[in-house]
Amino acid sequence: MIRVALAYLRDRPLMSALNILLLSLAVAMLVMLLSVSTQLGDRFERDARGVDLVVGAKGSPLQLILSSIYQMDTPTGNIPLDSIALLRRDPSVRQVIPLALGDNFRGFRIVGTEPAYLGLQDAKLAQGRMFAKAQEVVIGARVAEELGMTLGQRFVGSHGLTEDENAGHHDHTPFTTVGILAPTGSVMDRLILSNVESAWEVHGIEHDHHDEEELHEGQHAHEHGAMGADQHEAAEHHDADHDAHDRPANLTEREQLKPEITALLVSYRSAFGAVRIPSMINRQTNMQAAVPAVETARLLSLLGVGIDGARAFAWLLAATGGLSIFVALLAAASAREGDLALLRVMGASRAQIFGTIMAEGLVISAIGGLAGLLLGHGALALARNSFEQLRDFGFDPFTLLPGEAAILLAVLVIGLVASLIPALRVFRLDLADSLTRSS
């Protein structure tokens, strides 16, 4: 039956190719939408694990979440160092992890933080040790793989969060690689991690013992130190006159060069903190508090509208393909009545002829489904290579999802249903009349 069905398909190649094309385009769209929506949702959930709240400068809450958790956007600004102490003193807060952003190395962000940051993604060292002082870095698995970096390698960071040949380089403060992380499948794989003092030193921001005390204030509540802010930095610089050639020339510059941080990743000790702390920060400080779960849900809902519309169009395209198969098989069955009658005379049963027509629809839908699967993943791979955001997101175009099997099954069902009515004509076939008309 399959060989006869294939022979019939070769007999009308243009119509068969059109039906296969319609189904393959529909499957490709569905596969792409499924892969993008699933990987987006999974990645958002995985990267935000362990973070209940993000505190940063006033601006867009979504921008704050994207830049601080997913490392995908520009930060909203900096916040004072003493914000770390403010939160760590709160009994509802379990952990506060600081982030200091602003530089990159060949497109990979350099993040000033503390070792506790690695615990959010259960990141483990594959080689080397944890950074212990300024200008020591631990690099993610993807950074090491793409740049071919090894332990002990020294490099110079560039200003900005993306690679730019015209950006300034911090030649006076090179970094040294002391550790390489094992792959985590998270944002950690594409980061270069160091302590907060490194971020200050590469930008020539002076800090003293008081800053370091505030940076590590509340360390007993955490496994590792955290970052804070010194509210008296400007006054100290104003009163001090030694090493004047290394210090800013005026008060405005001194204010701009105070030790600051970019954001704080907060986790609660009790549910009461989720009720009180965000409103306290938003109303009583010059900072903003953004809840990752709320902002990512809002983003996914906005994306979901477009995804749902595209998905509906793809299923409509698949239904059109099924209708095209139905029309083609119905016309073919009418044109081949003489051949079918001859097969019956030669001993083929009605069931065999019925199966031949059903097999023809099944073959078309199977080829279209498999071609669509390959086309969809190929398009995803092309998109990943073309768009830096997808690469930064860690998108895998070749991940096979369980839902793809359901899509293929649905397409096969469409092909079988489209073949059913033409195949049923076999049971109403009048052998004598068909042979007479065909002769």
Write out the two tokens for 404: 């793809």
- Distance of alpha carbon 263 from the chain centroid: 21
- Distance of alpha carbon 229 from the chain centroid: 33
**321 φ, ψ (degrees, to nearest 5):** -60, -40
Specify the DSSP element, H or E, that contains 382: helix 350-386
* Residue 269 DSSP label: S
- Candidate from 53-62, 144-153, 332-341, 408-417 with smallest mean pLDDT: 332-341
Of residues 356 and 139, the one with the higher pLDDT is 139
- Residue 19's pLDDT band, with cuts at 50, 70 and 90, is confident
396-423 pLDDT, tens digit each: 899 899 999 999 999 999 888 888 877 7
Q: Are strands 260-261 and 93-105 parallel, antiparallel or unpaired?
A: unpaired
* Residue 247 DSSP label: S
- In whole angstroms, give the CA distance from residue 77 to residue 132: 27
Residue 157 clears pLDDT 90, i.e. is over it: no
Specify the DSSP element, H or E, that contains 128: strand 125-128
Which pLDDT belongs to residue 281?
94
Mean pLDDT of the chain: 80
Residue 229 clears pLDDT 70, i.e. is over it: no
Quickly list DSSP for 156-213: --EESSS--TTS-B-TTS-EEEEEEEPP-SSGGGGEEEEEHHHHHHHTT----HHHHH
Specify the DSSP element, H or E, that contains 58: none
Give percent of the chain above pLDDT 90.
40
- pLDDT (average), residues 31-54: 89
99-154 pLDDT, tens digit each: 999 899 988 999 999 999 999 999 999 999 999 998 999 999 999 999 999 999 99
- Candidate from 176-180, 228-232, 277-281, 376-380 with smallest mean pLDDT: 228-232
Residue 361 clears pLDDT 70, i.e. is over it: yes
Beta strands in 285-402 (DSSP E): 287-290
DSSP SS3 for 437: helix
Please, which residues have CB within 8 angstroms of residue 259's CB and are 6 or more apart in sequence? 81, 200, 205, 206, 207, 211, 229, 230, 233
Residue 331 clears pLDDT 90, i.e. is over it: no
Is 59 within 8 Å of 288 (Cβ atoms)?
yes
List the one residue out of 42, 22, 26, 21 whose CA is nearest residue 311: 26
Specify the DSSP element, H or E, that contains 50: none
**pTM of the predicted structure, to 2 decimals:** 0.71
Task: Compute how many other C-beta atoms are within 10 angstroms of the C-beta atom of residue 288.
Answer: 20
Which pLDDT belongs to residue 232?
36
Angstrom distances, CA of residue 239 to CA of 231, 381, 395:
14, 59, 52
Which pLDDT belongs to residue 277?
94
Which pLDDT belongs to residue 37?
86
Please, which residues have CB within 8 angstroms of residue 98's CB and are 6 or more apart in sequence? 84, 112, 113, 114, 196, 215, 226, 227, 228, 261, 263, 264, 265
Please, which residues have CB within 8 angstroms of residue 400's CB and are 6 or more apart in sequence? none
> Left if phi > 0, otherwise alpha if psi is -120 to 50, otherwise beta: which for 128?
left
Which pLDDT belongs to residue 125?
95
Number of H helices, E strands in the chain: 17, 13
Residue with tokens 């190929």: 378
Residue 174 clears pLDDT 70, i.e. is over it: yes
Cβ neighbourhood burial of 370 (10 Å; 0-12, 13-18, 19+)? middle
* Residue 246 DSSP label: G
- pLDDT (average), residues 321-343: 68
- In whole angstroms, give the CA distance from residue 198 to residue 343: 83
Residue 242 clears pLDDT 60, i.e. is over it: no
Highest mean pLDDT among 42-51, 115-124, 155-164, 336-345: 115-124
Q: Give the angle 248-251-255 at the CA atoms, nearest 5°.
A: 85
